[in-house]
Amino acid sequence: MPEPTTTLSRRTLLGAGLASFCTPAFAEMRDGTHFAIADLVRGAPEAIGRPLRIVLPAGSAANLVPVARQFTDLTGIDVELDPAGVHDVASNVLIAHLEEVHRYDFALPATYDIPDLVAAGALVPMDDIELPGRVPPSAAAIYSEGDSFDGKHYGYQTDGDTYLVFLNRNILEDRAIADGYEDAYGARFAAPESWGEFDRQVAYVSSSPGDAFGALLPRAPGYVEWEFWLRFLAKGVWPFSPEFRPQIAGDAGVEALEDMLALSPFLAPDASSHRGLSGNWQSFQTLPIYMTFGWGGAQKLMNQPGKPLHGRLSHAVIPGGDGPNTPAALPCFNWGWSYSVVSRTEMPAVAKAFALFAVSSSVSTDAVRQADGFFDPFRDEHYRDPDIRAIYGDAFLETHRASLANAIPDLYIADRGAFFSTLGMWLRLVLDGVVPPAEGLTRVSQQWELLTDRLDRAKQAERWLSLRRKFPDRVAANLRDLVA
């Protein structure tokens, strides 16, 4: 077990992020790389008389429209956008692949779906696609861990989805609540830096005079898994051993799930609904709620002029553990969208060129500027753009970049979808009172073992160890394996 590192506070993390943000290394101006990329495929014979077809989440259509328009203007190649539901992009790609039809050339799946699409043979490695010329070098995305799988490159990250705590300043700055909390606990009422402090503040706000709720957390299937995952990591334990044996059913996992149960009475009633995050964000704007979780999309939605919480939000990285030898903060990346080329495409070079074009400095900045689209900053120059700064606000961007640059990766393993859906199903059964925490987590572990036995355990363990090495040092040094 590595020696624990010096405690990393939220303030230290933000200071480091802001320092990087202001250094000359990040002073690169928007370049003209997209012109050179467009030149490579202008007049490509495989694109004559047919469009480049892209399946994408409907919420990112606003981001893609200016990208597609510029690509067509510079190459003469039409681009056809096919919007799908936020959870349907990967399944649409997979169905088309299994039906052996050429429905799409290109896709914008959630980054965490790439491993499952690769396993199905539905994506082409970018490195296997040759372009008719050299692409000028360009700065990479701040976070790109999810774009590769099993040593091959399958996507280009285009959305900086780092998970953050959102705080309603109307409640955070309420002197009666703040003074009462400080009297009760001898601690300042400020953005929580540990899960224990988070839970204590939520319970206090919900129990205070008035109608305020402490939090509205996304606990519907598909989202509840992340809360447990982060609470578990905050206990200082790796979720899998180096041999890829589950470690969530021990004391740390049971404690994390018991903490979630104990908090449930203090949450706003929509927490367990099936509306997903966007519905929760709508409630967060209209009800007196202290905290929620979200990404940059929530900031875009709630910081619009005329919205109830415009200019009234504070933000924090995901809190860490309460005791020694636990991570002090858990900045994480847990969604994102990655430009990927589908295996049934009839114009792979054009599709790859579009991906490179879309993530280039100038074009990607235009995409992120679209206030109605999903995409959030993912390159350093995005954080300096005046229009983007006006949309998000400088305080949010400071927290966002610090979290993105220090983020732990999502669970990029084979059958990731099956692993997380199993976890989500049993978490809901526990939170609904059907089974106790220890039994629910034991069932998850058993089903995870069955899933692994169906796969190649040695290969899955290799993937997991590779992923562990990508955890930030300050987090990894405070995670341990359980001794059997």
For the chain, domain boundaries = 1-23+162-333+409-479, 31-160+335-376
Q: Which of 107-116, 202-211, 272-281, 370-379 has the lowest mean pLDDT?
A: 272-281
Q: Which tens digits make up the pLDDT trace of 146-204?
A: 999 999 999 999 999 999 999 999 999 999 999 999 999 999 999 999 999 999 999 99
Between CA 35 and CA 122 the distance in angstroms is: 29
- Mean pLDDT in residue range 270-294: 82
pLDDT at 30 over 70: no
- Mean pLDDT in residue range 299-306: 94
pLDDT band at 278 (very low <50, low <70, confident <90, very high): confident
What is the sign, positive or negative, of the torsion defined by CA atoms of 376, 381, 386, 390?
positive
Between CA 278 and CA 218 the distance in angstroms is: 10
Q: Which tens digits make up the pLDDT trace of 201-213?
A: 999 999 999 999 9
What is the sign, positive or negative, of the torsion defined by CA atoms of 91, 92, 93, 96?
positive
pLDDT at 18 over 60: no
- The answer to whether the pTM exceeds 0.85 is yes
pLDDT of residue 65: 97
Query: One fold for both 1-23+162-333+409-479 and 31-160+335-376?
Result: yes
pLDDT of residue 1: 34
Q: Which CATH class is domain 31-160+335-376?
A: alpha beta
pLDDT band at 279 (very low <50, low <70, confident <90, very high): confident
pLDDT at 78 over 70: yes
| R_g of the chain, CA atoms, integer Å | 22
pLDDT at 137 over 80: no
pLDDT band at 335 (very low <50, low <70, confident <90, very high): very high
Question: Beta strand 152-153 with 148-149: parallel, antiparallel or unpaired?
Answer: antiparallel
CATH code linked to domain 1-23+162-333+409-479: 3.40.190.10
Average pLDDT, the chain: 91
pLDDT at 58 over 70: yes
CB 2 within 8 A of CB 356: no
Between CA 466 and CA 77 the distance in angstroms is: 39
pLDDT of residue 16: 38
pLDDT of residue 281: 86
pLDDT of residue 480: 97
pLDDT of residue 483: 74
pLDDT at 14 over 50: no
Q: Which of 22-26, 239-243, 347-351, 466-470 has the lowest mean pLDDT?
A: 22-26
Between CA 296 and CA 325 the distance in angstroms is: 31
Q: Which tens digits make up the pLDDT trace of 399-445?
A: 999 999 999 999 999 999 999 999 999 999 999 999 999 999 999 99
- Mean pLDDT in residue range 339-367: 96
CB 448 within 8 A of CB 414: no
pLDDT of residue 20: 37
